[in-house]
Each structure stands twice: as C-alpha cells, then as structure tokens.
C-alpha cells in the first residue's frame, strides 16, 4: 500500500536529508517545501498576499501531478508548519486532503533536535548548495516558538540530535512499514 509521508520540523532538523534517504528506500517521490517556496521567494514580497497566492498555485500544480502518479508510489512531503499558524494549518489540512484524494494514509513524522545542533547544522555547506537559509535569526525555535503541527492518520516524533541521517531514515522506514501493515 502507498502512503503520504509528511515530515515536519523546525529548519535545520534534517527534514530534506532524511526525506532524500526515504525516497530511495521507499521508491517514493519527494516534494520538499523548498521546491514550492523558492518560486514565491524569488518573485514576490515575502508574506505578501501575492506570496501566499503564489504558494497556493504552485502547491496545487504539484498536488495535481501527485494525483496522477501510480497508486503504488509513495509520496514524501516536507514542511516547517507550526500549530496556531493560519497558513501552516491550512497547508497541513490540504496535505491531509491530498492523502484522502489518493486514498492513502497520511503519516506524519515530526523531527526535532537541540538548538545547539541546529546552530551547527545550518552553517553547513549543503544548505548553501541547496539555496536554503542559513541565518541563525530565523532558526531559533526556543521557548517562545509554537510546536510543530502533528496531525495525521499516524504520528511519529523523533529527536535527531544524536542520530545520523541514515539512522533517522532507518527508524522512520521501520515505523512506516509498521503503519502500512496496520492499515
């Protein structure tokens, strides 16, 4: 059975790195949040009405392509959406609806790690190569931040502070296998 694996977490926790490993392990397609956001960031004013309009339009084009995939192809989504964010909640609900349209479970994986580890990770050259933000100012989940959205048919929380990406991907793969068998 196929599924949508939706990886959520603060910037720098390893969402894309883990998603790329899962893509190979599961034979999945990957739509990472940067693929959607980069167009809006390049062409509109950040958080303006046209910015959000652009995000919705790009996302809907991508979701239309996802609906055309063969039924047995898993899909991995990545996001950094937080509880209480109107945009985040709307986007999350739309991803859950996408799973319903595909007739597959929506499996949520929430990754976290220590602030010290985030500070280390965001300085890496791989972030620059992928055109990902590297400013510490936007990476401070700290005490005042909202928790990540963690809704779906099944939810896994995993702290990646002490884990290598391969170890994280292995744990997530094992969990996905269990959830798919439970369906």
| CA angle in degrees (0–180, nearest 5) for 40-157-173 | 85
Mean pLDDT for back-to-back runs of 10 residues, the chain (183 residues): 93 91 97 93 93 96 98 96 93 98 97 78 61 55 71 96 95 95 78
pTM, 2 dp = 0.88
Phi, psi dihedral angles at 157 (to 5 degrees): -110, 135
What would the CATH number be for the domain defined by 4-30+73-182? 3.40.50.300
Please choose, from the candidates 62, 76, 69, 85, the residue with its C-alpha nearest in 3D space to the C-alpha of residue 16.
Answer: 76
């Amino acid at each position: 059975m196929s599924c949508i694996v939706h990886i959520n977490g603060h910037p720098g926790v390893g969402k894309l790195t883990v998603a790329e490993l899962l893509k190979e392990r599961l034979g999945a397609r990957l739509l990472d949040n940067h693929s959607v956001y980069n167009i809006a960031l390049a062409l509109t004013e950040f958080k303006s009405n046209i910015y959000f309009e652009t995000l919705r339009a790009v996302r809907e084009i991508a979701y239309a392509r996802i609906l055309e995939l063969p039924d047995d192809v898993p899909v991995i989504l990545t996001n950094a959406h937080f509880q209480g964010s109107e945009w985040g909640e709307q986007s999350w609900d739309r991803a859950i609806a996408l799973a319903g349209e595909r007739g597959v479970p929506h499996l949520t994986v929430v990754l976290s790690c220590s602030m010290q580890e985030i500070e280390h990770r965001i300085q890496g050259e791989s972030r620059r190569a992928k055109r990902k933000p590297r400013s510490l100012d936007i990476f401070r989940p700290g005490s005042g931040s909202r928790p990540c959205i963690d809704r779906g048919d099944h939810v896994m929380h995993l702290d990646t502070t002490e884990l290598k990406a391969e170890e994280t991907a292995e744990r997530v793969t094992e969990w996905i296998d269990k959830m798919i068998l439970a369906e």
